[in-house]
Amino acid sequence: MIPETLKTSLKARVASALTPREAAVDVMKELQAHYGWLTDEAVEEAAALLGLSPLQVEELATFYEMIYRRPVGKKVIHVCDSISCWCADCDKIIQHLKDKLGVGLGGTTADGMFTLIPCCCMGMCGDSPAMSVGGVPYGKLTPELVDEILEMERNNR
């Protein structure tokens, strides 16, 4: 169950949209922020708020890269593996992340802190290789910088 305040603000968001459905992505994102991922319960709640069936919400939820329909760590790491980052040797960075976190792609660290997911071009090609941690973008990555960022993000909940 979501708190009344969140429910009220989501209802307001839906009401301000030209059609309720247009607010679907915003509603899913807010619910995801609340639960940590888009739980089955969240799908049903989104459906009720939007006047859709849970299946219609599911159709949307499974389409977007940044909507998680499975449990994820506290912070999701999206590491770019597209072409400009490839030019900047992102393979090395991805390997380093795997080693450092002790997980494969898609995996979550044992302490539940990080989930590692590869992603498409982040629009940071000029600062490649790039990744984002819990939504915060980082560029010009080196293995040393990755260590620093992980340390900082771990302490900075």
Partner 1 sequence: MELPLFRHNRPNRVVTFDEYREEGGFEALKKAFSGMSPNDVQQAVMDSGLRGRGGAGFSTGRKWSFVPRDLPGPRWLICNCDEMEPGTYKDRVLLEHNPYSLIEGMTLACYALGVRHAFIFIRKGYEKAAANLARGIEEAKKAGLLGEHILGSEHSIDLDLHLSAGRYICGEETALINALEGKRPNPRSKPPFPAVKGLWQGPTVVNNVETLANVPAIVANGAPWFKGLALNPEGAGSKLFCVSGSVKNRACVELPIGTTLGDIIDGACGGMRDGRKFKACIPGGASTQFLKPEHWTLPMDYETVAKAGSRLGSGGVIVFDEGHCLVEATLNLITFFARESCGWCTPCREGLPYVKEILTRIENGRGEEDDITILREHVKYLNYTFCALAPGAMAPLDGLLRDFEDEVREHITKKKCPFKG
Candidates 4-12, 94-102, 118-126, 141-149; binding stretch for partner 1 (CB under 8 A):
118-126
134 binds partner 1 (CB under 8 A): no
124 binds partner 1 (CB under 8 A): yes
Among 2, 17, 121, 149, binds ligand FES (CB under 6 A): 121
132 binds ligand FES (CB under 6 A): no
x/- letters, 42..71, toward partner 1 (CB under 8 A): --------x--------xx--xxxxx----
Residue with tokens 């599911």: 58
Contacts with 131 (C-beta within 8 Å, 6 or more apart), sequence order: 77, 78, 79, 80, 93, 97, 122, 137, 138, 141, 146
C-beta of residue 122 within 8 angstroms of C-beta of residue 78: yes
Tokens for 84? 């400009």
85 binds ligand FES (CB under 6 A): yes
82 binds ligand FES (CB under 6 A): yes
80 binds ligand FES (CB under 6 A): yes
Q: Which of 31, 92, 79, 38 is nearest to 61 (CA)?
A: 38
Residue with tokens 């980082």: 138
